[in-house]
Amino acid sequence: MKEKKLSRRQFIGTTTAAAAALAINPIGAAGKNPDAQSAKSGFKLKYAPYFGMFEAHAGKDPIDQIKFMADQGFRAMFDNGLMRKDPSLQEAIAKELSRQNMELGPFVAYADFKVKSFVTQDKEIKIMLADTMKKAVETSKRTNAKYTLVVPGRYDESLEWDYQTANVVENLKFCAEMCEPAGLIIVIEPLNPWNHPGLFLTKIPQAYQICKAVRSPSCKIINDIYHQQITEGNLIPNIDRAWDEIASFHVGDSPGRKEPTTGEINYKNIFKHLHSKEYDGAICMEHGKSKKGIEGEKAVIQAYLACDDF
């Protein structure tokens, strides 16, 4: 293991100094300041940090970072770049997650924002998708990951929208057929058109329609609350309407894409709603930090403690 900047168990410790450091200003919808301590007994939901989120405390070693996450009560983590890591590291990550009884959220299989890919019937695109899904299945088998993320690429200004939709459906059917035998589930992600102009998939109802057309247990939706607040709002009703096709979530506050409580989204109510629906999957913390260094990492944990206090 690499030398850590600070022992994992020193964070949010039992000393008066540590407690004082965490006693930040009241936050949350009700202005309540929850106990300044880690949720060692576990959060109500499986909030999932990513590698690097707690690097100031845990150091750069990914295994140490997983241990730190577990020490703070997190029961899941995610890594968008998992498929690009060396297979031996993938296996080491999976082994430590299993030891900590932590779930692994979706990893990215395909997310090229510059290419008109799924909207076409191009033979070279089909070959690329086959190779990509093969690698995703191999990664899934090594890591026990159950979900892989796909962004269907750019739309085609020269082709009628309905033809593009049909092509996306057919290409997703092809990919899902490769994933089904391994039990791997593709989650398609709508992204907002202001931050990512030109992409085909932008809304939850659109993703819902596509999943219904694909008709595969290996093609579902990942609902990124940050993106959908910007694109369409109406967050909880859209969660409910698309519920049977949603398999996972990304979170980040808006504006700013930082931790919950820094923007306008009422994450306490959203998390309470997901808990009431008995959602038991990963909630990927795909956002930055409002502060730098150790204080920023403490603020992230404090924000999730506040929003999990329902």
pLDDT of residue 23: 38
Residues spanned by the domain of 141: 74-307
Q: Could you give the angle at the alpha carbon of 52 between the alpha carbons of 96 and 186, nearest 5°?
A: 70
Task: Answer whether residue 151 is part of any domain.
Answer: yes
pTM for the whole structure:
0.87
Average pLDDT over residues 259-275: 98
| 19-28, 43-52, 196-205: least confidently modelled range | 19-28
CATH of the domain at 292: 3.20.20.150
3-state helix, strand and coil shares in percent for the chain, rounded to the nearest 5: 45, 15, 45
- Evaluate whether 291 touches 299 at the Cβ level (below 8 Å): yes
Split into its structural domains, the chain has a count of: 1
pLDDT of residue 16: 36
Task: Answer whether residue 128 is part of any domain.
Answer: yes
Cα distance between residue 208 and residue 215, in whole Å: 11
Assigned token pair, 196: 């990512």
Three-class secondary structure assignment of 89-123: HHHHHHHHHHHCCCEECCEEEECCCCCCCCCCCCH
Q: Which residue has the higher pLDDT, 93 or 22?
A: 93
Write out pLDDT tens, residues 65-91: 999 999 999 999 999 999 999 999 999
Nearest to 153 by CA among 121, 185, 113: 113
Assigned token pair, 10: 């020193």
Task: Answer whether residue 244 is part of any domain.
Answer: yes
Task: Answer whether residue 52 is part of any domain.
Answer: no
Assigned token pair, 117: 């890919």
Task: Answer whether residue 4 is part of any domain.
Answer: no
Nearest to 72 by CA among 47, 39, 44, 35: 39
Task: Answer whether residue 61 is part of any domain.
Answer: no
Q: Which residue has the higher pLDDT, 276 or 1?
A: 276
Assigned token pair, 199: 């992409």
Cα distance between residue 64 and residue 58, in whole Å: 6
Q: Could you give the angle at the alpha carbon of 241 between the alpha carbons of 238 and 247, nearest 5°?
A: 85
Task: Answer whether residue 50 is part of any domain.
Answer: no
Task: Answer whether residue 184 is part of any domain.
Answer: yes
Average pLDDT over residues 124-129: 98
- Evaluate whether 179 touches 163 at the Cβ level (below 8 Å): no
Write out pLDDT tens, residues 223-262: 999 999 999 999 999 999 999 999 999 999 999 999 999 9
